[in-house]
A = this chain, B = another copy of it.
Amino acid sequence: MPSEFALIDAIARRAAVRDDVVLGIGDDAAILDVPAGRRLVVAMDTLNTGVHFPDDTAPADIGWKALAVNLSDLAAMGAQPAWCTLSLSLPASDAGWIDGFLDGFLALAALHDVALVGGDTTRGPLSVCVTAHGFVAPDCALRRDAARVGDDVWITGALGDAAGALTQWHAGDERDPVLRARLERPTPRVAAGLALVGLANAAVDVSDGLLADLGHVCMASGVGAEIELDALPVSPALATAFDAARRRILQCTGGDDYELCFTAARRHREALTAIVGNGDVVMTRIGRIVPGNAVVAFDGDGNPWQPPRRGFDHFEG
């Protein structure tokens, strides 16, 4: 069984390099150069086994997802990712498991030119904590408190897929591979977040469920929102696996899709459509920001609709 130090060596050998990493893994701390004229953006999220992923999740998928949820937070700020640190708690030191974990973690890191610069490994129940660092130009970040009455509400990609996979897992049903991939290998919308700078006002990533996360934007901005349920984007896989009523609940309250929900002035509709035309992720207009403080979803008949339970709380879910 390799020691903690051997593990850290093994991780260090696989970490990518960047010119702005003055000192990476192996000292008491990393030393990093933030570019002149840029602000530092920092996100931190933990995944625990049995809570954030099924116990039988492949190590590579856990590695991917642990970084993905953090890059998603940077994306929701419109930030350019740069570095991350990783704290890995494992019941036992298992070089094979860690290699698999790094396969997923570093594959996603490479896609976004993110360097792993530090962290620790320690004994404990399986838990993965990541801190991601990125950059924004001053006053260019997409904040939750910047939605304005009259804004359109938009969403990237499709909603409800990850919750669909989770539902199948909890029910013991066979898991649809497309939905399962959306749960286990979510795509952080980094390029979309960067493209939204200067166009979007507020943004949030959908980790707790559309209505809950849009509610956070509304609360921070002092506004309300109206959502058209029939406008919510749905994947073919979700449409096949769930009937309309269950699908609606998954789309509105399911967490873990890591799509970006954002608001933008009407005058940017054309520019936002052009982003979609560029071949990047689909963006769908799903509602509008209104006065008030409530998020109200309307069905095709114009009647307000409430899900049986709102959002996903990591202390309840």
Interface residues of A (CB under 8 A from B): 1, 3-5, 7, 22-23, 26-34, 36, 39-46, 48-52, 72-74, 76-77, 79, 83, 85-87, 89-90, 92-93, 117-125, 127, 129, 131-134, 136, 141, 143-145, 203-205, 216, 220, 313-317
By secondary structure, the A interface counts as strand
B122 and A52 contact, CB distance less than 8 A: yes
B87 A129 Cβ-Cβ under 8 A: yes
| A–B complex contacts, Cβ < 8 Å, 10 sampled | A3-B315, A7-B315, A27-B77, A27-B220, A31-B39, A32-B40, A40-B40, A42-B133, A46-B129, A85-B131
Cα distance A31–B40 in the bound complex, in angstroms: 6
- A122-B314 contact given A29-B77, A79-B29, CB 8 Å threshold: yes
Q: Which one of B48, B132, B141, B145 lies within 8 Å of A89 (CB-CB)?
A: B48
Q: List, in ascending order, chain B residues with CB within 8 A of A122's CB.
A: 46, 48, 51-52, 314-315
Q: Which 7 pairs show the lowest CB-CB distances between chains A and B?
A: A48-B124, A29-B43, A129-B129, A28-B76, A44-B85, A93-B315, A28-B73
Q: Which residue of B lies closest to A136 (CB)?
A: B31
- Alpha-carbon gap, A28 to B125, bound state (A): 26
Q: How far is the CA of A87 from the CA of B26 in the complex (A)?
A: 22
Cα(A34)–Cα(B83), bound, Å: 15
